[in-house]
């Protein structure tokens, strides 16, 4: 029987130069610290010898177009490509040393997709969507020079309203856990993004966070109290700039009722950086 | 709140380097065919990303269109990189 | 309170020349007959003075790419464009006399989308997907020279496995009915495609149908017995060539427990043509 | 059962008229860069839609690629429209 052998969640812009430019020296210090915490989590991930790594992240209008914005989309096929874009954003540019192509864990991804549709999840599928910093920065930081295990990238629509609800993301995570349990593989899972930044997705509020809200989320995750998180509304997530917490909700569904341990939490004006790991039974 | 016409144009400016080059060379001409209100059109021509965002342009597009987006909320205006493409206020150009 | 004032389902390749070429004179005769039945349904649709027409159909790999194949996708925005493709297929070409652009019923489409995501439907949204013969042939035949009312096109993935289940499509239809009931509009709804053709999606079986299976579906629809239809499996739909019946399942969910009245059923070697209308309370 | 490499190529042949023209002029050269097995490549070059369908090509692509697809299950082969583009067995050409 398959098991989730590692579960973590972390911010996904992991670029010291970017935060130096955005927040000065303290930006560089804090992002360097969260990256060190993620690298330490990577030691434990490597020791777990997972057969696959599920990565739950959101699209930044890089992979999908307005022709089709999926609520939840499973990336299937044999390989996935790193986003390649002329004049990429700085935090995507820092990944240019990474390989262009990564293996996918085809049977696990296909299982999540097929069993999902059979169970009433209206999942989109993609053979082509590339992965950007939201997927690859955490993978890169977690693994360092180690080889990247076969990935299962899953896209959650965090930004284009209407998004899936926090509850639905959690339910989808429970589904992922059932698929893992029904298979033969040891699986790692990470969710990326956050914590609070870009409230209301307004340029005029870039630079604000909601630390009180973030600490409340962390408290519930540490306690393994997931009920209140299920009731998070689209409005709360939007107003606090917690859009990307939807990715974390998927992970919570997959590991519930496990408790979180905070490896790093650091406030910046622009975003609150975090790295969290779950204590699995 | 979101406004498809704005976002579609931002998206194509992000993804289509040829359109972007035309836009940088002559914004009015490049977007002449787009179905925009006068206010939206004026904001595009001025490179006024804050207004485009307030009119319904998605933040991540408003930030990330190369050379045009604010790219980090620094309020970069179109005219500046045009006149000084290695402007140090735009970290992407460094 | 809003009401569904018209509900019908029909085959969607409605091109006498095409069936002449594929099946000879009998092909032309039967497609002409089903088109006449659909036009008669159109009289009743017009008399109902609907504010909007919801059209449930599938993509024939025209609107979406392998970058993102949605299970269920709501077309939002203000207008939708007819598919324009160089060297289009004959049955799309016959629509070239039709307008290029059609108004959408924006508040109804947005309601179906937003309330759907709030209710746990993982709907994709599209501002750009064009509509092909699957949407426009029935609309054209139904309306003739009358103006096209504001549309709500909804795409169901009928062909690219894994598809949504029959039960899930039905549940989504129930959701559509709830949204209509909660709004102020009189709404028509049609589902298109089928009946049986292209079993197993194998070229070697093009030209086969499953009339016994179709008659069974029709019997249940006539009786308003929807339970057995909910249990249709992906395998049954695939083997009998009933992929597009998923569109009909959405409509059934929207009108259940109403009974169907068959306006036309005609067997051809290539496909069984049908036009069905529901007796609404 | 479905095979992405086949379907992706069919899809691009359907949507990209320039690729289609190159393919019609010189199939081997046009698909040289595609990641196909030998059997798949041979079936493309021969315009053998039945084999491509059996190897996992979606029926609706196999039927609908202009000039190349069977377009109605008539088993049209590539070489025929190339030699006789108004071949009456292809109803689209009528
Ligand atoms: Fe992000
Ligand atoms: Fe069809």
Nearest chain B residue to C127 by CA: give it. Answer: B4
User: Subunits with at least 3 CB pairs below 8 A relative to chain D?
Assistant: A, C
Kindly state the average pLDDT of the residues A22-32: 96
What stretch of H or E contains A24? none
Q: Which 3 state secondary structure label does DSSP give A53?
A: strand
Protein residues with C-beta less than 5 angstroms from the ion ligand 1: A 193
- Chain B residues 8-37 with CB within 8 Å of chain C: 8
CB contact under 8 A, A203 and B73: yes
Sheet holding A3-10, edge to edge: A124-126, A72-75, A151-156, A52-58, A186-192, A3-10, A272-279, A259-267
Q: What is the pLDDT of residue D94?
A: 22
Residue of chain B whose alpha carbon sits nearest to that of A208: B73
Q: What is the pLDDT of residue A132?
A: 96
Task: Specify the higher pLDDT residue, C84 or B85.
Answer: C84
Interface A:D, ≥3 CB–CB pairs < 8 Å: yes
Nearest-CB residue to B59 (from A86, A90, A203): A203
| Residue A10 contacts residue A55 (beta carbons within 8 Å) | no
Supply the pLDDT for residue B2: 74
Contacts of C77 in chain B (CB under 8 A): 4
Indicate yes or no: CB of C61 within 8 angstroms of CB of D61. Answer: yes
How far apart are the CA of A99 and the centre of ligand 1, in A? 21
Chain D: give the shortest CA distance to residue A250, in Å.
28
Percent of chain A surpassing pLDDT 90:
96
| Confidence class for position A82, pLDDT limits 50, 70, 90 | very high
Instruction: Provide, as residue numbers in chain C, all residues whose Cβ is less than 8 Å from the Cβ of A112.
Output: none
Closest-CA distance, C53 to chain D, in angstroms, reads 27
CB atoms within 10 A of CB A223: 12
Q: What does the radius of gyration of chain A's CA atoms come to, in whole angstroms?
A: 17
Window from A112-116, A167-171, B89-93 with minimum mean pLDDT: B89-93
Rounded Cα gap, residues A87 and A97, in angstroms: 15
pTM to 2 decimal places = 0.94
Surrounding ion ligand 2 within 5 Å at CB are C 193
How many contacts, defined by CB atoms under 8 Å, are there between A and D? 5
User: Which tens digit of pLDDT belongs to each residue from A223-236?
Assistant: 999 999 999 999 99
Contact of C50 with C5, CB cutoff 8 Å: yes
Higher per-residue confidence, A45 vs B85? A45
pLDDT value at position D82? 31
In this predicted structure, the answer to whether residue B84 has a pLDDT above a threshold of 70 is no
- pLDDT score, position D81: 33
Categorize the per-residue pLDDT at D91 as very low, low, confident or very high, splitting at 50, 70 and 90.
Answer: very low
| Chain A interface with D: residues with Cβ < 8 Å | 77-78, 127-128
| pLDDT-derived band at D84, boundaries 50, 70, 90 | very low
pLDDT in tens, D29-58: 999 999 999 999 999 999 999 999 999 999
CA atoms of A57 and A63, how far apart (whole Å):
12
- For residue C263, the model assigns a pLDDT of 98
Residue C35 sits at the vertex; the CA angle it makes with C33 and C36, to the nearest 5 degrees, is 65
Per-residue confidence (pLDDT) for residue B1, from 0 to 100: 57
pLDDT, position A201? 97
Position C223 scores a pLDDT of 98
pLDDT value of residue D74: 40
C-alpha to C-alpha distances, C231 to A205, C196, C217, C226, nearest whole angstrom: 50, 17, 12, 9
Using CB atoms, pick whichever of C71, C73, C171 lies closest to residue A123.
Answer: C71
Residue B4 forms contact with C (CB below 8 Å) = yes
Name which of D29, D40, D82 is nearest D62 in CA terms.
D40
Q: What pLDDT, on a 0 to 100 scale, did the predictor assign at position C2? A: 97
d(CA A261, CA C30): 68
The answer to whether residue A117 scores a pLDDT higher than 80 is: yes
Q: Please give the pLDDT value at position C103.
A: 98
Among candidate residues A103, A83, A180, the one with its CA nearest the CA of residue A149: A103
Looking at C52-105, which runs of residues are DSSP E strands?
52-58, 72-75, 79-81, 101-103
Rounded to whole angstroms, the Cα distance separating C89 from A78 reads 32
Residue of A nearest to C77 (CA): A66
How close does chain C come to A233, measured CA to CA in Å? 10
CB C280 within 8 A of CB C225: no
Put simply, whether B61 touches A (Cβ < 8 Å) is yes
Residues of chain C with pLDDT under 70: none
Say yes or no for a CB contact (<8 Å) between A68 and C118. Answer: no
Residue in A224, A14, A54, A30 with CA at minimum distance from that of residue A156 = A54
For residue B92, pLDDT beyond 70? no
Count CB atoms within 10 A of the CB of residue A167: 17
A203 vs B70: CB contact, 8 Å cut-off? yes
CB contact under 8 Å between D73 and C18, yes or no, is: no
CATH superfamily of A3-278: LigB-like (3.40.830.10)
Residue C59: partners with Cβ closer than 8 Å, 6 or more residues away: C129, C132, C134, C155, C157, C158, C159
Q: Across the interface, which of A87, A201, A203 has its CB nearest the CB of B92?
A: A87
């Amino acid at each position: 029987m398959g098991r989730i052998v590692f579960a973590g969640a972390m911010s996904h812009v992991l670029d010291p130069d970017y935060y130096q430019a955005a927040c000065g020296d303290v930006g560089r210090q804090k992002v360097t610290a969260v990256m060190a915490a993620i690298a330490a989590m990577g030691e434990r991930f490597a020791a777990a010898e997972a057969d696959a790594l599920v990565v739950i992240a959101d699209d930044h209008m890089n992979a999908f177009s307005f022709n089709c914005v999926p609520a939840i989309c499973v990336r299937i096929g044999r390989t996935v490509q790193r986003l390649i874009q002329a004049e990429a954003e700085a935090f995507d540019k820092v990944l240019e040393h990474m390989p262009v192509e990564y293996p996918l864990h085809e049977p696990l991804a296909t299982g999540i997709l097929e069993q999902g549709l059979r169970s009433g999840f209206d999942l989109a599928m993609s053979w082509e969507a590339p992965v950007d910093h939201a997927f690859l920065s955490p993978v890169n930081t977690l693994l360092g020079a180690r080889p990247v295990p076969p990935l299962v990238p899953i896209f959650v629509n965090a930004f284009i309203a209407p998004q899936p609800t926090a509850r639905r993301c959690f339910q989808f995570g429970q589904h992922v856990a059932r698929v893992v349990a029904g298979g033969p593989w040891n699986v790692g899972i990470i969710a990326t993004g956050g914590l609070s930044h870009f409230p209301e997705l307004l340029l005029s509020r870039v630079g604000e966070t909601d630390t009180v809200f973030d600490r409340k989320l962390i408290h519930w995750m540490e306690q393994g109290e997931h009920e209140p998180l299920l009731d998070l509304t689209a409005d709360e997530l939007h107003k606090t700039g917690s859009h990307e917490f939807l990715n974390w909700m998927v992970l919570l569904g997959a590991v519930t009722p496990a408790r979180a341990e905070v490896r790093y939490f650091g406030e910046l004006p622009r975003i609150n950086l975090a790295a969290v790991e779950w204590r699995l039974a | 709140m979101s406004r498809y016409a704005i976002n579609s144009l931002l998206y194509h400016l992000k993804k289509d380097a040829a359109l972007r080059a035309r836009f940088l060379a002559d914004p009015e001409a490049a977007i002449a065919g787009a179905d925009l209100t006068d206010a939206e059109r004026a904001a595009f021509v001025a490179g006024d990303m804050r207004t485009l965002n307030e009119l319904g342009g998605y933040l991540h597009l408003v930030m990330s269109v190369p050379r045009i987006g604010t790219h980090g909320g620094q309020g970069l205006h179109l005219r500046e990189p045009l006149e000084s493409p290695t402007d140090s206020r735009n970290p992407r150009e460094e």
